Amino acid sequence: MTIMKGVDLEIVEYLFSAEKECREVMKVTDRYPELTFDEAYSIQEKLIQRREMDGVRKIGLKLGLTSKAKQEMMGVHEAIYGYLTDDMLALEWEPVDFTDFIHPKAEPEIAFFINEELQGTNVTAEDVLRVTKFVAPAIEIIDSRYLNFKFTLADVIADNCSSSKLIIGSKWMSPAGLELGQLGMVMTKNGQVVQTGSSAAVLGHPAVSVAWAVNKLGERGKGINKGDVILSGAVSEAISFEQNDTILVQFAELGGVSFSCKSST
């Protein structure tokens, strides 16, 4: 069974209202177990269009499942992507509000600032680096709309890959001369080290991950644009956080980025 016309829009409204009202819902595949990845990406696109109707603007892309270990764990052979929108941008100097989330987690990321259009199905990491003006340290806050953060791959694609917020550090560097494929990373929560890792965890090199996304978009006749921000994928496991927590991510050479979470009272 494939998703019938009309049902996809019903799913879009279901996920849109869950996000807007900040509440957990049952995963889509509980009702539509045959949902394919292709259909899930179509739903994701319509979900973003629905959010654009609500006044948001696309600003780039985010990658998920960029670690080979995570792919094996999920029984898949490729990464996934979702869209970033302008209302997801949070600022380092303004605490995020815990009431905006359901069950948030923070991931250390490297952000790519794209300086010219790139489209195709044979795009390489070198092509990506050529069009990247700056890279910067970033944190993505992911927050699945699904009950207990449990879902299948098709579910998470439809839900725009759990996208919620992103914070970009203030140190922006040209990728030229940076060992971008092996940057060490330390993540702390309230001063305690909770994760360490290397940018090599992102498909061997973060630019490889971005190239994968461009090629995947190319299959749908799309690409990335000048001015886009791309989060290339998590450098380590995601970390849950609560009210009053502070998360800091520090990359060798690339510098740090942090955020704090204010309590709801």
Residue 1 lies in a domain: no
pLDDT exceeds cutoff 50 at 148: yes
Q: Which residue range forms the structural domain that includes residue 74?
A: 7-262
Radius of gyration of the chain (CA): 18
Q: Burial level of 163, CB count in 10 A (0-12/13-18/19+)?
A: buried
Residue 74 lies in a domain: yes
Rounded to 10 degrees, what is the CA torsion of 111, 158, 214, 51? -70
Smallest CA-to-CA distance from 248 within 183, 186, 157, 160 is with 186
84-to-88, 234, 262 alpha-carbon distances in Å: 7, 15, 23
Least confident stretch, 74-88, 185-199, 240-254: 74-88
Compute the mean pLDDT over every residue in the chain, rounded to the nearest whole number: 94
Res 64: pLDDT? 92
Q: Burial level of 191, CB count in 10 A (0-12/13-18/19+)?
A: exposed
Res 1: pLDDT? 47
CATH code of 74's domain: 3.90.850.10
Res 6: pLDDT? 81
pLDDT exceeds cutoff 80 at 20: yes
Residue 2 lies in a domain: no
Torsion 166-205-145-44 (CA) sign: positive
Q: What is the percentage of the chain residues whose pLDDT exceeds 70?
A: 97
pLDDT exceeds cutoff 70 at 4: no
Res 14: pLDDT? 96
pLDDT exceeds cutoff 70 at 175: yes
Beta-carbon contacts of 183 under 8 Å, excluding residues fewer than 6 positions away, are 110, 198, 199, 251, 252, 253, 254
Residue 146 lies in a domain: yes
> Against a cut of 0.85, is the pTM above it?
yes
Angle at 107 between CA 91 and CA 75, to 5 degrees: 145
Angle at 141 between CA 95 and CA 78, to 5 degrees: 165
Q: How many domains does the chain have?
A: 1
